[in-house]
Chain A
């Protein structure tokens, strides 16, 4: 019982008063635990955006942003508790971790309180589908990335494709979206292979693909480390010369250090800092604040998350009412973020974002394109 009394005393002591001209954003994110790799850099980007906006006088020059931070230790039960605490504290928007489990564990709390919630970097398009009207995502969806890479492949003149996917996680089923879009565009699937995450030996898959006559123009996968390098080596060793297409999971230093075998791989990711781009200035601002360049694109995506909330508050005529913000957010169009333009209008809460196509060239990154995908091409979320 002492616990409860102590607990409430601490809550009372530390809960900040909500002033009229303040937008309180509650963050129930995974700053420790298995999801911290994504949520911690996202938080850095969010704080950068909050500081920028507040230094400029706040949203619309008047509404200051305040962050109420909770660490959920990558645990679903803790996320649901933290979400309830943020609801009780009267926040206007809640930021949830970058994974479906904890986000879904909190969505019951968030929905019944009618407060909009945004997942930091969850890319599964089923999350907002299951989560309902109050659940928004922030990252380019798996289906959006696949739509962009399929469209690019078709436009490049590739007509036949092979996919390698794993049913182990939602993310590794991204090639199934690629297949749907590629076929819709008129391309032909020559076949597909499945792997398990952590599979050491890809020679069987590589041999099968190499034995095709003619070989597929494209091999698409959303495998990531350590599977992707193994798969790539096996394919090249077996004599597969097809264009390899990957996803943002391989946007890591490893991919650029594979040497010859990695050359020419094309993958989709959330952003690319071209000269004079928003991402370039974000990177500079980030370095000025934290002393080093951002380690991953997640920081820029976190910055975008705050910019989306800012845009929603402005669109709601400066209202900090959660319901008004939720309405406004669902209808946002072309919000300028660090990684590009972001649109929620017409989606189920999974944003349409510019996706950058990167080619590995001379061990560095070369921008292939930054298309905004055609909404008609984006396949519906797969529930299975």
Chain B
């Protein structure tokens, strides 16, 4: 199951195969030296997409992936090294390993699987870390693995040359490995897991709210990318024939990351672009620095320009294109911007809730500040409930507790008899509770279609996800924008996409945090119609926070009013309009007002 249009994936695969084949043929025509340059390039590219698969999709820059390249190199080489040489140079190897002598392909497969298992443990350990803490952890990984390889002398020969590895990597082998890595990376990006991970990269809180388990997707990507690194490691080991731990350390990490960052971390197009640009510039400078004759003048060799060149490219790329030369999009996404909408198959509607959602005596304290103080709220199946209150009264905090973004300091969230308190947001989402955010939290670099689809895929086991996504987009009237990036839409459209995304989760309870903010009157009126239908046609209970009291008054069956963290009133719109406490909270005590004016209060 892939989440992007088939034509894009086919175009990408076709281009990868055609380009690699053309490069191999051209290099063969040029001769053995060019073949070697291309072989090293292809192995580097394999490693670059390996790092990109994790870093690009998760948004966590990894300094540690070259360690997996090292593990793969040593593991595969231990299996292919001739037995006689193993006995002579590594006398303390266990006998079964010393006697094993495999050819390149089975050895590489075993090394890839072994490395993936190692990565599974490491990934599970560091997967909880976020942002720069995660990046620093990967740096630690690089240093620790380097230390282990040096220290484990009986198996690795320590810091000394690990030599005698059969030189079985030729141009074709490297090309096949590289094509494999590129295809895995490209298809992962638009797999269900890849899409979820990218959603998490774009906005972690929103991804959780639509059911994405970011840590699990990160682990999947981590293991897959480690496997690709191991493949690259085995290739370089069997290309060089001799290597030592320093081959898998900072120098190569720097070079590979330079390629990835210059080209653009988030796409396979970027990985290829970066690898090509840096290789190209290094190759040209390398030839120039060996000295040449120009118009009768002999220019003497000046070494070191290649490294300076790489440094300058990085600077230039970062100044001109922060997301890398290829940006955030694959080339085929730019050239073939189709939405490829799924068939609008009939969606089995989610049965309306029969139980109530209740918050019981919920308190949320941030340090000394109590944002919500002992609030109880009850939402009946299918009703529209308005939640109002002055700025800072605790509305959003209450919503965050009910949707699992915050765990209440005291009190419980119950759905029927089930206690939802302390559940993660993705678990809440799967229990029929979806929401939007006060400050729009879309996945700006994903298309509208992908924004909505990822929600459908991540809830209710992903059943009928494409149809659910399509139905949700239709209902909100954003189908026409399906192929557009969510971040490029107008404010009102972004609000609607966010509601469509929440709706794609097939919720029984929907929390909308200021859905009409920033909309004009016509847009607000149209939204009102849509929201009323959610309740009347789908039986979804809506908890609506807004400052537009006209909207609240017209839509709500009941209204709850918060002030300074406490619930001051609950009741029908009519009751609320007459409630002296509400009037006092909104206008201050000692002043009477005509209730009809409330519509203008914002």
- Please give the residue numbers on chain A whose beta carbons come within 8 Å of chain B beta carbons, in ascending order: 1-4, 6-8, 10-11, 13-14, 31-34, 68-71, 73-78, 80-81, 84-85, 87-88, 100-101, 104-105, 107-109, 130, 167-170, 197, 383-384
Q: Is the CB of A80 within 8 A of B240?
A: yes
Q: How many angstroms between the C-alpha atoms of A108 and B247 in the bound complex?
A: 18
Q: How many angstroms between the C-alpha atoms of A101 and B91 in the bound complex?
A: 21
In the assembled complex, 16 residue pairs joining A and B whose CB atoms fall closer than 8 Å, in A order, are A2-B280, A3-B279, A7-B37, A10-B288, A11-B287, A14-B287, A14-B292, A14-B293, A31-B304, A32-B303, A32-B307, A68-B290, A81-B40, A84-B36, A87-B33, A384-B88
Q: Is the CB of B241 within 8 A of A10?
A: no
What's the nearest-Cβ distance from chain B to residue A108, in Å?
5
Q: How many angstroms between the C-alpha atoms of A71 and B251 in the bound complex?
A: 16
Annotate B11-35 by CB proximity to A: 1 below 8 A, 0 otherwise.
0000000000011001100111110
Q: Is the CB of A84 within 8 A of B160?
A: no
Please pick, from A77, A80, A100, A384, the residue contacting B163 in the complex, using a CB distance under 8 A. Answer: A100
Collect the chain A residues with CB atoms within 8 Å of residue B40's CB.
Answer: 77-78, 81
Most chain B C-beta atoms within 10 Å of own C-beta, residue among A7, A33, A170: A7
Q: How many angstroms between the C-alpha atoms of A101 and B23 in the bound complex?
A: 28
Would A10 and B239 be within 8 Å (CB), given that A81-B40, A84-B36 are in contact?
no
Q: Is the CB of A101 within 8 A of B304?
A: no
Q: Is the CB of A167 within 8 A of B153?
A: yes
Collect the chain B residues with CB atoms within 8 Å of residue A70's CB.
Answer: 286, 290
Output the nearest chain B residue to A33 by Cβ-Cβ distance.
B251
Please pick, from B240, B288, B307, the residue contacting A77 in the complex, using a CB distance under 8 A. Answer: B240
Interface residue SS majority, chain B: helix
Q: Is the CB of A81 within 8 A of B37?
A: yes
Q: Is the CB of A88 within 8 A of B284?
A: no
Q: How many angstroms between the C-alpha atoms of A130 and B284 in the bound complex?
A: 33
B569 contacts partner chain A, Cβ-Cβ < 8 Å: no
- Please give the residue numbers on chain B whose beta carbons come within 8 Å of chain A beta carbons, in ascending order: 22-23, 26-27, 30-34, 36-38, 40, 43, 88-91, 150, 153, 157-161, 163-164, 167, 236, 239-244, 246-247, 251, 276, 279-280, 283-284, 286-293, 301, 303-304, 306-307
Q: How many angstroms between the C-alpha atoms of A4 and B236 in the bound complex?
A: 21
Would A170 and B163 be within 8 Å (CB), given that A4-B23, A4-B34, A7-B37 are in contact?
no
Q: How many angstroms between the C-alpha atoms of A11 and B236 in the bound complex?
A: 25
Output the nearest chain B residue to A100 by Cβ-Cβ distance.
B161
Q: Is the CB of B240 within 8 A of A84?
A: no
What's the nearest-Cβ distance from chain B to residue A274, in Å?
34
Q: Is the CB of B303 within 8 A of A31?
A: yes
What's the nearest-Cβ distance from chain B to residue A222, in Å?
14
What's the nearest-Cβ distance from chain A to residue B496, in Å?
46
Would A14 and B251 be within 8 Å (CB), given that A81-B33, A384-B90 are in contact?
no
Q: How many angstroms between the C-alpha atoms of A103 and B244 in the bound complex?
A: 12
Task: Give 10 new A-B contacts, CB below 8 A, not counting A1-B26, A168-B150.
Answer: A11-B287, A76-B242, A76-B247, A77-B236, A84-B33, A87-B33, A104-B240, A104-B241, A109-B36, A384-B89
Collect the chain B residues with CB atoms within 8 Å of residue A3's CB.
Answer: 276, 279-280, 283
Collect the chain A residues with CB atoms within 8 Å of residue B288's CB.
Answer: 10
Collect the chain B residues with CB atoms within 8 Å of residue A87's CB.
Answer: 32-33
What's the nearest-Cβ distance from chain A to residue B251, in Å?
7
Please pick, from A71, A81, A105, A169, the residue contacting B160 in the complex, using a CB distance under 8 A. Answer: A169
Collect the chain A residues with CB atoms within 8 Å of residue B33's CB.
Answer: 11, 81, 84-85, 87-88
Output the nearest chain B residue to A99 by Cβ-Cβ distance.
B161
Q: Is the CB of B286 within 8 A of A71?
A: yes
Collect the chain A residues with CB atoms within 8 Å of residue B159's CB.
Answer: 168-169, 197
Collect the chain B residues with CB atoms within 8 Å of residue A73's CB.
Answer: 306-307
Would A104 and B242 be within 8 Å (CB), given that A4-B34, A14-B287 are in contact?
yes
Q: How many angstroms between the C-alpha atoms of A2 and B246 in the bound complex?
A: 32
Q: Is the CB of B241 within 8 A of A108?
A: yes
Collect the chain A residues with CB atoms within 8 Å of residue B279's CB.
Answer: 3
Collect the chain B residues with CB atoms within 8 Å of residue A105's CB.
Answer: 240-243
Q: How many angstroms between the C-alpha atoms of A202 and B88 in the bound complex?
A: 32
Q: Is the CB of B290 within 8 A of A14?
A: yes
Q: How many angstroms between the C-alpha atoms of A11 and B90 in the bound complex?
A: 42
Would A4 and B161 be within 8 Å (CB), given that A73-B306, A104-B241, A105-B240 are in contact?
no
Q: How many angstroms between the C-alpha atoms of A170 and B158 in the bound complex?
A: 9
Collect the chain A residues with CB atoms within 8 Å of residue B242's CB.
Answer: 76, 100-101, 104-105, 107, 130
Collect the chain A residues with CB atoms within 8 Å of residue B289's CB.
Answer: 71
Interface residue SS majority, chain A: helix
What's the nearest-Cβ distance from chain B to residue A102, in Å?
9
Output the nearest chain A residue to B34 by Cβ-Cβ distance.
A4
Collect the chain A residues with CB atoms within 8 Å of residue B240's CB.
Answer: 76-77, 80, 101, 104-105
Most chain A C-beta atoms within 10 Å of own C-beta, residue among B161, B279, B292: B161
Collect the chain B residues with CB atoms within 8 Å of residue A100's CB.
Answer: 160-161, 163, 242, 244
Q: How many angstroms between the C-alpha atoms of A85 and B287 in the bound complex?
A: 11
Collect the chain B residues with CB atoms within 8 Å of residue A107's CB.
Answer: 241-242
What's the nearest-Cβ distance from chain B to residue A11, in Å?
7
Q: How many angstroms between the C-alpha atoms of A130 and B85 in the bound complex?
A: 10
Collect the chain A residues with CB atoms within 8 Å of residue B304's CB.
Answer: 31-32, 71
What's the nearest-Cβ distance from chain B to residue A7, in Å?
5
Output the nearest chain A residue to B240 by Cβ-Cβ distance.
A105
Q: How many angstroms between the C-alpha atoms of A330 and B167 in the bound complex?
A: 26
What's the nearest-Cβ distance from chain B to residue A91, in Å?
12
What's the nearest-Cβ distance from chain B to residue A57, in Å?
21
Output the nearest chain B residue to A104 by Cβ-Cβ distance.
B242
What's the nearest-Cβ distance from chain A to residue B396, in Å?
54
Q: Is the CB of A4 within 8 A of B27?
A: yes
Q: Is the CB of B89 within 8 A of A383?
A: yes
Collect the chain A residues with CB atoms within 8 Å of residue B167's CB.
Answer: 108
Please pick, from B31, B88, B307, the residue contacting A383 in the complex, using a CB distance under 8 A. Answer: B88
Please pick, from A4, A31, A75, A81, the residue contacting B251 in the complex, using a CB distance under 8 A. Answer: A75
Collect the chain A residues with CB atoms within 8 Å of residue B27's CB.
Answer: 4
Q: Which are the 3 A-B pairs with shortest beta-carbon distances?
A: A104-B242, A31-B303, A71-B303
Would A8 and B34 be within 8 Å (CB), given that A101-B243, A105-B240 are in contact?
yes
Output the nearest chain B residue to A382 by Cβ-Cβ distance.
B89
Collect the chain B residues with CB atoms within 8 Å of residue A75's CB.
Answer: 251
Q: Is the CB of A77 within 8 A of B239?
A: yes
Collect the chain A residues with CB atoms within 8 Å of residue B30's CB.
Answer: 4, 7-8
Collect the chain B residues with CB atoms within 8 Å of residue A78's CB.
Answer: 40
Q: How many angstroms between the C-alpha atoms of A76 and B167 in the bound complex?
A: 13
What's the nearest-Cβ distance from chain A to residue B271, in Å?
16
Q: How many angstroms between the C-alpha atoms of A71 and B288 in the bound complex?
A: 11
Collect the chain A residues with CB atoms within 8 Å of residue B239's CB.
Answer: 77, 80
Would A7 and B34 be within 8 Å (CB), given that A14-B292, A71-B286, A77-B240 are in contact?
yes
Collect the chain A residues with CB atoms within 8 Å of residue B164's CB.
Answer: 130
Q: Is the CB of B91 within 8 A of A84?
A: no
Q: Is the CB of A7 within 8 A of B243?
A: no
Q: Is the CB of B91 within 8 A of A384?
A: yes
Q: How many angstroms between the C-alpha atoms of A70 and B291 in the bound complex?
A: 9
Q: How many angstroms between the C-alpha atoms of A108 and B304 in the bound complex?
A: 26
Most chain A C-beta atoms within 10 Å of own C-beta, residue among B276, B288, B301: B301
Output the nearest chain B residue to A172 by Cβ-Cβ distance.
B159
What's the nearest-Cβ distance from chain A to residue B258, in Å?
14
Please pick, from A1, A10, A32, the residue contacting B23 in the complex, using a CB distance under 8 A. Answer: A1
Q: How many angstroms between the C-alpha atoms of A2 and B34 in the bound complex?
A: 13
Output the nearest chain B residue to A86 by Cβ-Cβ distance.
B33
Q: How many angstroms between the C-alpha atoms of A74 and B303 in the bound complex?
A: 12
Please pick, from B23, B90, B290, the residue contacting A69 in the complex, using a CB distance under 8 A. Answer: B290
Q: Is the CB of B158 within 8 A of A167?
A: yes
Collect the chain B residues with CB atoms within 8 Å of residue A101's CB.
Answer: 161, 240, 242-244, 246-247
What's the nearest-Cβ distance from chain A to residue B325, in Å?
15
Please pick, from A10, A31, A71, A109, the residue contacting B284 in the complex, using a CB distance under 8 A. Answer: A10
Please pick, from A1, A6, A76, A81, the residue contacting B243 in the complex, using a CB distance under 8 A. Answer: A76
Collect the chain B residues with CB atoms within 8 Å of residue A88's CB.
Answer: 31-33
Collect the chain A residues with CB atoms within 8 Å of residue B290's CB.
Answer: 14, 68-71
Collect the chain A residues with CB atoms within 8 Å of residue B287's CB.
Answer: 7, 10-11, 14
Q: Is the CB of A7 within 8 A of B283?
A: yes
